[in-house]
Structure 1
Amino acid sequence: MRALLVVNPKATTTSERMRDVLAHALASDLKLDVATTGHRGHAAELARAAARENVDLVIALGGDGTVNEVANGILADGPSPDLPAVAVVPGGSTNVFARALGMPNDPVEATGVLLDALRSGRSRRIGLGMADDRWFLFCAGLGFDADVVARVERRRAEGRKSTHGLYVRSAMRRFYRSGGTRRSGPLTLEEPGREPVGGLCLGIVQNTSPWTFLGDRPVHACPDASFDTGLDLFGLTKMTTLPTLRHLRRMLASSGDAPGRAPQGRHVVSLHDCATFTLGADEAVSLQVDGDHLGQHRSVTFRGVPHALRVIV
């Protein structure tokens, strides 16, 4: 089997030694080429070329952003049964996609699981989401959470390490500096066949659950979201301190692998298993997909695409 290992050397927990050890282990079962990314978007370029050269498998060693780029590269011309499968060796700080698939968060253990899956022929087809023309694996967001991602990216560009603490501090600063937008947001939800819902401060779109992790604790904004259904949405039309803390506590209330109940309340807007909907804005607002900031947008249409990608798990 021909395979390409795409390595992001700047991922939080990825090192040159780890890359060499994992490549040696994978090469025992695969005809393996290794490519190291050098700039943003490079993983997508490498994966697109691999798909057009009929490579059988593309393995991403890095964080969620690296895996997102690999998926977008493979699916550049749309889903097809002839495209390469994707496998993940987690090397980032959070690794939501790998963990949502049930992979260990340790890269060495994940490599062992991957090799076992290859030897036994285990794989599954999963649905993905699209934000306009950009594929996403597990989540996208417009508004508040995307602003937090943008702030974290600026801090990382200044040399700060990506940690859960950095995300928490960035979220708190954004929350308390947002002024009136916490009580009436700029977003409007439009879903076919329903009346528009305006005033959203944020819109979190999930293709699976959890939304993210806080350390080892999963955060479930849409606990019923699944790779096997359409898209889910969690939105808030008002963000004040005590209600927001109650929503966060419910998002963190899980028992083992079983998520708790979805946040509820008169300011909560939720959708489950949707094929498509649009979030528009009165002003340009931030968009993030799988934890990468994609700039400012006035309107984004989200679509769920079933059976879009084959993954080795």
Structure 2
Amino acid sequence: MIRIHFIVNPIAGHGNAPLTQEELQPFFINGVHDLTIKVSEYKAHATELTKASIQEKADIIVACGGDGTINEVATCLIGTDIALGIVPMGSGNGLASNLKIPKKRRKALEIIRNKHVERMDVGNINGRYFFSNTGVGFDASLIKHYESSEKRTILGYISACAITFRDIEKNEPLSITVDEETPMINPFIILISNSNEMGYKLSLTPKASLQDGLLDVLVIKKIGKFKMLWLGFLILIRKVHWLKESKSFQTKNIQLKCDDSEFFDTQVDGEHNRIDNNHLNISLLEKSLCVLTAK
């Protein structure tokens, strides 16, 4: 018997299409697959449910939600032989897209049933895991403002962008050092990627791979408003390297130090994360997570 547990975030993707036993049953075989659905009710509840599923000897644990839900579930499975399945139900679905898991639920469930397992790399930032990317600068501030907004819509996202642009202009100068090199004042973005997508098919690191044993790092120095608009266009066409203020490289480890603050505002897989330390140690755990993908 193959025990498959589905951890469902009911509000992912505006909560319009919850997963049910009736929907799952046609894709699996009675007597072969034992299906369990668990619904998360609050932040970090998916982690608790996943830990319980591990104790219940689940063979496959499926994260049904966006990148935040996937992070909570996958974090518990690192270093185990339990396979992570994904049913993309969020807005961005960056990791699922990188793994070529379709948003069409029927096709995602077929991947879970077919049980093709691969191993992928996992990032670590000061003890917290990330699977797609982490970073500081504009994207971290944007997510911070978006999460604090009551408008989880495109209008809320635009409003968060406007606030973030305003803050860039009025913030006190911030000096950040990357791997002991010359400090940068108010860098626009420092993005460390494990995957080649951030969601919505957008990418700042299009050559990143989940299985190459390396992190892809993009550093963009402070830029003006015109260059920000140019950067937005370059992101759309996946040509960020055309921006002369950008620098890209690959590494297994990277350290960031903030000279003017006792904490870092970061984003981890698209969620705001404040780290009460002025040092960030970011590293890679090679092939440490089993994940179900299309063949």
TM range (shorter): 0.7 to 0.9
Question: What does the per-residue CA deviation read over 1:124-163, in whole Å, with 9 as the maximum and x for residues that have no partner?
Answer: 11111111111111111112211111111111xx3x23x4
TM-score with structure 1 length normalisation?
0.83
TM-score with structure 2 length normalisation?
0.87
* Runs of 5+ unmatched residues, structure 2: none
Question: What does the per-residue CA deviation read over 1:98-148, in whole Å, with 9 as the maximum and x for residues that have no partner?
Answer: 111101122233223433x33xxx221111111111111111111221111
Give, in angstroms, the shift of residue 210 of structure 1. 1.6
Match in the other structure for 1:206 = 193
Match in the other structure for 2:85 = 87
Match in the other structure for 1:167 = 157
Give, in angstroms, the shift of residue 181 of structure 1. 5.0
Query: How far apart in 2 are the matches of 1:93 and 1:72?
Result: 20
1:30-179 equivalences in 2 (<5 Å): 30-75=33-78, 79-80=79-80, 83-115=81-113, 117-118=114-115, 122-155=116-149, 158=150, 160-161=151-152, 163-179=153-169
Q: Are 1:103 and 1:110, in contact at CA under 8 Å, matched by a contact in 2?
A: yes
1:225-264 equivalences in 2 (<5 Å): 225-229=208-212, 230-253=214-237, 260-264=238-242
1:170-189 equivalences in 2 (<5 Å): 170-179=160-169, 185-189=174-178
Q: Return the letter of the residue paired with 1:289.
A: V
Report percent identity of matched pairs. 24
Q: Are 2:175 and 2:183, in contact at CA under 8 Å, matched by a contact in 1?
A: no
* 3-state DSSP of counterpart to 1:263: helix
Q: Return the letter of the residue paired with 2:178.
A: L
Q: Are 1:12 and 1:92, in contact at CA under 8 Å, matched by a contact in 2?
A: yes
* Runs of 5+ unmatched residues, structure 1: 254-259
Match in the other structure for 1:256 = none
Question: What does the per-residue CA deviation read over 1:193-248, in whole Å, with 9 as the maximum and x for residues that have no partner?
Answer: x63543323211110112332xxxx2221111110221111122212112122222
- Number of residue pairs the alignment of both structures matches: 285
1:206-225 equivalences in 2 (<5 Å): 206-213=193-200, 218-225=201-208
Q: Return the letter of the residue paired with 2:13.
A: T
Match in the other structure for 1:195 = 181
Q: Relative to 1, partners in 2 of residues 1:301 and 1:196: Cα closer, same or farther, differing over 3 Å?
A: farther
Query: How far apart in 1 are the matches of 2:28 and 2:14?
Result: 21
Match in the other structure for 2:273 = 294
Query: How far apart in 2 are the matches of 1:178 and 1:67?
Result: 31
Query: How far apart in 2 are the matches of 1:212 and 1:21?
Result: 29
Q: Return the letter of the residue paired with 1:174.
A: T
Query: How far apart in 2 are the matches of 1:25 and 1:67?
Result: 24
Q: Are 2:95 and 2:197, in contact at CA under 8 Å, matched by a contact in 1?
A: no
Match in the other structure for 2:25 = 24
Question: What does the per-residue CA deviation read over 1:13-56, in whole Å, with 9 as the maximum and x for residues that have no partner?
Answer: 44465434443345535211111112111111222232344321
